[in-house]
Amino acid sequence: MNTSSIARAFRVALPGLLAATLMSGCYLLQTIEGQLSLMWKREPISRVIGRPTTKPALRAQLQEVTAIRDFASRDLGLPDNGSYRSYADVGRPYVVWNVFAAPEFSVQPKEWCYPIAGCVAYRGYFKEQKAHDYAARLGAQGFDVEVGGVAAYSTLGHFDDPILNTMMGWNDVELASIIFHELTHQLIYVPDDSSFDEALATTVEQEGVRRWLSRQGRSDALAAYELEQRRTLQVIDLLIGTRQRLRVLYASGAVTADMKRAKQAEFTALRAEYAALSAGWGADAPFASWFRANLNNAYLVSIATYYRCVPGFERELAAVGGDLPAFYRRARRLADLGQAERDALLCR
């Protein structure tokens, strides 16, 4: 799957150790163990680059990460700290597996609430089998569930987050996207308002990638990025349309059997609409892997979260002529408002 913000919920885990502090039992223990293991495996990127035994491909990517990380603070005004200046090899293809869930007849996600991070629409596990076991228990309770492998990890700046081996298959645009996005969360983060947080980070991410590619004179790469963003938004329109129709269906009071049939008909129609839209896009079309899977409500939980308020933030950025420090000041003022007032200004 190409890097798009809607996929980020499947690619980034928020605080593990911090998120678990109000939990108990096995979940707390596995989270503490996973967080500590991650911290112990970190080493400075400069040391990895300078080691003679480092493979050339890894050295080249880490040099690219260093340039991206410097650009983030120097040119985008993002935090200049230890995050993404170290490297850790976790010895597996994903760092965390996230569990998403939604009721069988609802497009509202099940949420888990944690200190610092607030309420989020997923629960993360450092061991894949634990994630599947928990998803199975939710499924037995009647939830639609999805388990997604996560390649990146963020503690919102409470620890110095490393670049991981799980991210080394990405190109420089994808690496820049994740670094810009997560550093924005460290700059401004409002607990319990994921729509604000993710739309702000998505706006900075996209503007940052455009500036990163423009600064290097990579007009072809910039054109390809813009094309992918346009295609992504077309897919988002399909997903949001399906989500809206399902919301109406679930509120209709239809009998269970009829609702089940209508629900499956909506997902069948969505798959057909995507096939028609993406014909000719190639194997790397945005969300191609989603549509090869068994679609359900859990697939739709993060759609509005990531994109609903992006146009509002784009208006705010345009209002200051693209001046990022001024944009951040405006974002902080918005963050100080109540959620209803923020939504009215940004997400209408």
* 39-43, 114-118, 154-158, 343-347: least confidently modelled range: 114-118
For the segment 51-86, what is each residue's pLDDT rounded down to a tens digit?
A: 999 999 999 999 999 999 999 999 999 999 999 999
What's the pLDDT at 23? 45
What DSSP assignment string belongs to 125-174? ESSHHHHHHHHHHHHHTTEEEEEEEE-EE--TTSS-PPEEGGGTTS-HHH
- The whole-angstrom separation of Cα 97 and Cα 49 is 29
* 29-43, 95-109, 157-171, 208-222: least confidently modelled range: 29-43
Mean pLDDT across the chain, nearest whole number? 88
What's the pLDDT at 194? 81
Query: Per-residue pLDDT for 6 more than 60?
Result: no
Is residue 67 situated within a structural domain? yes
122, 98 contact by CB (below 8 A): yes
Residue 309: count other Cβ atoms within 10 Å of its Cβ.
27
For the segment 234-281, what is each residue's pLDDT rounded down to a tens digit?
A: 998 899 899 999 999 999 999 999 999 999 999 999 999 999 999 999
What's the pLDDT at 88? 96
What's the pLDDT at 36? 84
Tokens of 131: 């994630």
Q: Is 32 helix (H, G, I), strand (E, B) or coil?
A: helix
221, 213 contact by CB (below 8 A): yes
Query: Per-residue pLDDT for 15 more than 50?
Result: no
Tokens of 65: 């990460």
Query: Per-residue pLDDT for 46 more than 90?
Result: yes
Tokens of 153: 């990890």
For the segment 170-217, what is each residue's pLDDT rounded down to a tens digit?
A: 999 999 999 999 999 999 999 888 889 989 999 999 999 999 999 999
Considering its fold, how many domains does the chain have in total?
1
- The whole-angstrom separation of Cα 112 and Cα 267 is 26
Q: Which residues contact 213 (CB under 8 A, 6 or more apart)?
A: 173, 219, 221, 222, 225
In terms of residue numbers, what domain contains 149? 5-191
215, 76 contact by CB (below 8 A): no
Is residue 71 situated within a structural domain? yes
Name the residue type at position 329.
R
Is residue 105 situated within a structural domain? yes
What's the pLDDT at 10? 43
What's the pLDDT at 24? 46
For the segment 290-339, what is each residue's pLDDT rounded down to a tens digit?
A: 888 888 998 887 666 677 789 999 999 999 999 999 999 999 999 999 98
Is residue 113 situated within a structural domain? yes
Is residue 258 situated within a structural domain? no
Residue with tokens 């319990």: 192
Name the residue type at position 270.
L
Is residue 217 situated within a structural domain? no
Is residue 147 situated within a structural domain? yes
**Ramachandran angles phi, psi of 23, nearest 5°:** -90, 175
- The whole-angstrom separation of Cα 211 and Cα 122 is 32
Is residue 199 situated within a structural domain? no
